[in-house]
Amino acid sequence: MSILTKAIIDNQIVVTAVETKDIVNKAIKLHGLSPVAAAALGRTLTMAAMMGKELKNESDYLTIKINGGGPLGQITVCADGKGNVKGMVDNPVVETSLNANGHLAVGEAVGNDGSLTVIKDLGMKQPYVGSSKLVSGEIAQDFAYYFATSEQQPCGVTLGVGVSKKMCTSAGGVFVQVMPNCSEELLSKVETVMYAMDEMSYQFDHSTAREVITRFFGQFDPQFTEDSEVRYKCGCSKRKINRVVKSLGKDEAQSIIDEVGQIEVCCHFCNKKYVYKQEDVDKLFNK
Ligand SMILES: [Zn+2]
Interhelix angle for 35-52 vs 21-31, to 10°? 130
Q: What is the Å distance from ligand 1's center to 223 Cα? A: 37
Q: In this predicted structure, what is the pLDDT of residue 99?
A: 81
Contact (Cβ atoms closer than 8 angstroms) between residue 7 and residue 15? yes
Q: What is the Å distance from ligand 1's center to 269 Cα? A: 5
Q: What is the Å distance from ligand 1's center to 238 Cα? A: 10
Q: What is the Å distance from ligand 1's center to 9 Cα? A: 38
Q: What is the Å distance from ligand 1's center to 185 Cα? A: 47
Q: What is the Å distance from ligand 1's center to 54 Cα? A: 23
Q: What is the Å distance from ligand 1's center to 272 Cα? A: 6
Q: In this predicted structure, what is the pLDDT of residue 63?
A: 97
Q: How does DSSP classify residue 98?
A: B
Q: What is the Å distance from ligand 1's center to 73 Cα? A: 20
Q: What is the Å distance from ligand 1's center to 181 Cα? A: 42
* 106-145 pLDDT tens trace: 999 999 999 999 999 998 889 999 999 999 999 999 999 9
Q: What is the Å distance from ligand 1's center to 231 Cα? A: 14
Q: What is the Å distance from ligand 1's center to 106 Cα? A: 26
Query: What is the ipTM score, two decimals?
Result: 0.99
Q: What is the Å distance from ligand 1's center to 242 Cα? A: 13
Q: What is the Å distance from ligand 1's center to 260 Cα? A: 23
Report helix, strand or coil for 165: coil
Q: How does DSSP classify residue 218?
A: G
* 21-34 pLDDT tens trace: 999 999 999 999 99
Q: In what order do the strands lie in the sheet with 115-121?
A: 128-133, 115-121, 61-67, 75-80, 84-89, 223-232, 2-9, 13-19, 167-178, 155-164
The residues of the chain scoring below 50 in pLDDT are none
Q: Tell me the H-state helices in the chain.
A: 21-31, 35-52, 106-110, 140-150, 184-195, 200-203, 209-217, 238-248, 250-260, 278-286
Q: In this predicted structure, what is the pLDDT of residue 123?
A: 87
With the C-alpha atoms ordered 230, 234, 238, 242, is the resulting torsion angle positive or negative?
A: positive
**Domains of the chain (ranges, CATH numbers):** 2-232 (3.55.30.10), 238-286 (3.90.1280.10)
**In the structure, how many helices (H) and strands (E) does the chain have?**
10, 12
